[in-house]
Amino acid sequence: MNGGQALVATLLSHGVEAAFCLPGESYLEVIEALRLAKDRLRLINTRHESGASFAAAAYGRITGRPGIAFVTRGPGATNASIGVHTATQDSVPMVLFIGQVPTTELGREAFQEIDYARMFGGLAKAVFEPRKPTEVAAMTAQALTIACAGRPGPVIVSLPEDVTENDAGDVAIPRPSPRQIVEPDAARLNQVADLIRNARAPLIIAGEQIGFEGAQAALIAFAEKTGAGVVAAFRRQGVMPSDHAAYLGHIGLALTPYQKEMMKEVDLIIALGSRFDGATSIDFSLVESHQTLIQIFPDAKVLGRTRAAVPVLGDVAPTLAGLSARLSEPPPNQRQEWRARWRDKAVAFMRPEGQDALGRVDQIAVMKTLGARLPHDATITNDAGNFSTWLHRYMPFRQPSSQAAPCCGAMGYAVAGAIGAQIARPGKTVLAMVGDGGFLMTGQELITAVEHDLPIKILLCDNAAYGTIVMHQQRRFGPGHNHAVAMKSPDFAAAARAWGAAAYTVDDTAGFAPALDAALAHKGPALIHLKTDLRDLAASGLKLSA
């Protein structure tokens, strides 16, 4: 058994069923071992390394198991780094295997050599580089374990070419070990329970650990038991069904008008399984002097950065169980009335009604149609861009795998992410919602979906510009200061058909429903080219001034 075979044997022993790659000569022995194991481990070859890493990140987010990607050395690693950053800020388990120069050439700036410990040291949870074939299996197992431990995240394994080629002997293949549960401190739970009992208006901000731990049901039960309101952290829709009585919306890059008023009354904020990132915390300005912040998270470094008044080191599930055992009395009527009042305002804000579009496509109506026609168990992957504001505001999110989107705002995620989500959820509807800018970065991964018979659907919102930057230019400099933002869009539907997908062009609201029905009925990949109007800048009602 050589080093490459030991690696694949370790993946199989840990139950890995799928991986994403762009092949390279630096890890040929690994690819050959994957070929021999193709009946047990499905390998998806993408068209760009960012596609492989994005797909792996989405797979990890949906499944809670490490998404696996393989790329070649040097340029392959730098191309894949965007997915590593996404997995880090999303708190998603992932292992990126990177080809490396032979051990005899390390440190000599050999062809395509990069020191991956330096490159990824501050970004990934750990970086491994075995120097002997006998070390490959153990380091692979360590990488898979670390990716899921505590706060999940990406791990890098650098593979020197000779290490994968040479004999590993009769090396033992490690078996998987269960993730160690992070149990909260009992005294700290008593303190949190007292704060909840005495709170007038407690608000839970539900984050990434809810999905990773599969704790949606526990969150719902806790909200019902305590009468607390719940908002989803940035791009974490699905932590609770959006039609639940406790659900008070989603925190975006800015608070909505009703949320600004609501926050004046909130006296206790519980960041539950959320690292309380810059977007969710509104650039770290959300908590005010009249509010107490409790943060529950399984990573001491994150708790140290947030500096919550009451940090709780622990996983979500055991923490909720411990708190529920300490909170036996029903919530006060005043608290339930408070939540019901703001639930009404949240529902009114999320209701897709009205025709405010300046262009021929009303994106509110598009979201209403999408919400009515998509299966309730569908997954939406979305890119960065102002088009996503309509999705965040109006789309109903009904189940835990409703959404996968990059919290770091990476463009190019949606299409590649849809591939990872489709592998994670075979037989389910997966829709990528992407702008013209993001599609032109990684949209060629639609070819990957065609090749591997992955029936993803793509809703491509095309306003022929980098719309988010247009919005920022207008806000900072005023009307007429747009520069370097216009894009000449191709015929995206024609390109999709040339790649082997079904495709439909929609340039008015009435054309969207029949196009969506046709795309959903099509057995393979399908794309809808939705021509939107740049004047309709955001779901907030912001318009482009002349």
Cα–Cα distance for residue pair 67/135, rounded to 1 Å: 22
pLDDT of residue 60: 98
Cβ neighbours of 438 (radius 10 Å): 26
Q: Quick one: tokens of 230?
A: 């719940």
pLDDT of residue 546: 64
Q: What are phi and psi of 536, to 5 degrees?
A: -90, 90
Is residue 540 scored above 90 in pLDDT?
Answer: no
Contacts of 121 (CB under 8 A, 6+ apart): 127
How far apart, in whole angstroms, are the C-alpha atoms of residue 133 and residue 4? 8
pLDDT interval class at 355 (50, 70, 90): low
Do 322 and 461 belong to one domain?
Answer: no
Evaluate whether residue 172 is within a structural domain: no
CATH number at residue 220: 3.40.50.1220
Tokens of 412: 């190019």
pLDDT value of residue 71: 98
User: Are both 379 and 322 inside the same structural domain?
Assistant: no
pLDDT digits (tens, 9 = 90+) for 300-332: 999 999 999 999 999 999 999 999 999 989 999
Q: Which residues pair with 19 in a beta bridge?
A: 43
Residues 305 and 410 in one domain: no
Q: What is the largest CA-CA distance in the chain?
A: 72
Does residue 181 sit within a domain? no
Mean pLDDT of the chain: 96
Do 387 and 455 lie in one domain? The reply is yes
Indicate whether 333 and 385 sit together in one domain.
Answer: no
Confidence label for 260 from pLDDT (cuts 50, 70 and 90): very high
Q: Is residue 39 part of a domain?
A: yes
When mean pLDDT is compared across 26-40, 183-197, 477-491, the lowest value belongs to 477-491
pLDDT score, position 363:
95
Residue 87: pLDDT above 80? yes
Per-residue model confidence (pLDDT) at position 356:
76
The answer, yes or no, to whether residue 106 has pLDDT greater than 90, is: no
Overall average pLDDT of the 427-446 stretch? 97
- Which residue shows structure tokens 């890119």? 383
Same domain, 21 and 146: yes
The reply to whether 154 and 54 lie within a common domain is: yes
Do 82 and 150 lie in one domain? The reply is yes
Average pLDDT estimate for 120-140: 97
Average pLDDT estimate for 61-69: 98
CA–CA distance, 467 with 149 (Å, rounded to integer) = 38
Structural domain includes residue 543: no
Give the structural domain span for 412.
363-531
Residue 103 forms part of a structural domain = yes
Alpha carbon 392 to chain centroid, angstroms: 14
Number of domains in the chain: 3
| pTM assigned to the model | 0.96
Say how far apart CA 94 and CA 84 lie, in whole Å. Answer: 8
Residue 475 C-beta-side C-alpha neighbours within 13 Å: 9
Mean predicted confidence (pLDDT) in 471-490: 90
Mean local confidence (pLDDT), 287-294: 96
pLDDT score of 464 more than 90: no
CA distance 251 to 266: 15
Same domain, yes or no: 395 and 483: yes
Confidence class of residue 542 from pLDDT cuts 50, 70 and 90?
A: confident
Same domain, 515 and 378: yes
Give CA separation, 339 vs 161, 196, 220, 228, 331, in Å: 59, 14, 14, 7, 11
121 with 259, same domain: the answer is no
Ramachandran bin of 322, using left for φ above 0, alpha for ψ from -120 to 50, beta for the remaining angles = alpha
Query: Does residue 442 sit within a domain?
Result: yes
* Listed residues 111, 135, 165: the one ending a domain: 165
Instruction: For residue 306, give Cα distances in angstroms to 178, 213, 315.
Output: 29, 21, 17
Q: Would you call 474 helix, strand, or coil by DSSP?
A: helix
In a domain, 245, yes or no: yes
CATH of the domain at 410: 3.40.50.970
pLDDT digits (tens, 9 = 90+) for 162-184: 999 999 999 999 999 999 999 99
Q: Both 159 and 224 in a single domain?
A: no
Q: Is residue 307 part of a domain?
A: yes
